[in-house]
Structure 1
């Protein structure tokens, strides 16, 4: 018997860096707890770049005029539960540069069960025992910090 492929859910995510090359991550309690980049599913008629900007506003209260949105850095595909239903989420990760002073979680329109947010250095990412998504984020940030933005989006592990 063949297991059906879960429905596709297209998502946009942001690798948010500040001037010190720290990445902004959000903590969630579900599935044993984890940290992840901001983002979410596309709305009807929306492209990935526009969704990235919208999600940063909804989840972190960042005014999109304060976001320097860059190129798509990576892509990832993963199967997981959303609202109790399994989906195959196809995520595109975009570089976004913001100042920490432009992050206003109290103004977030849809905080989506976010427990906290924090700015992480590459060394902190590499040494943590916490679960962080996507895998390979520290290597991606190191490359961007050294001016080696991928010419084509890299594929990240699920």
Structure 2
């Protein structure tokens, strides 16, 4: 680490950049974000569609890659809460949900009238869980919809309100 005389006595600050696009350039994952797809398709300006495979993806490693949309979001929140303790600023955390949850993913939906349909109650439960774990902010809530009925694939709900 470089020493700067004008900073003597000042505590070093640590911030983690939002690294979605930066990660593709460096052939790495986006910080501690789980992957969204094994091979992500993005549209980039004049270049058009560009495909980014997950780092080190091969026939042997495919089973180890799980989409962020298929993970209980509390596991992601727990990971960010652990990392947050070592970062001075807030981390750019995103919740990834499907419009339809796999049955049994969340225990509070067990006796629900809509056991798989995502509701605002589900988002509130996850946001409160994140707050209790010490998460400073949830940057985006992204919803994956198989039939594009409400939101397009990987649409940001926070941006569309």
Does the pair score TM above 0.5? no
Q: Which has the higher strand share?
A: 1
Q: Which has the higher helix share?
A: 2
Say which structure, 1 or 2, has more relative contact order (CA 8 Å, 6+ apart). Answer: 1
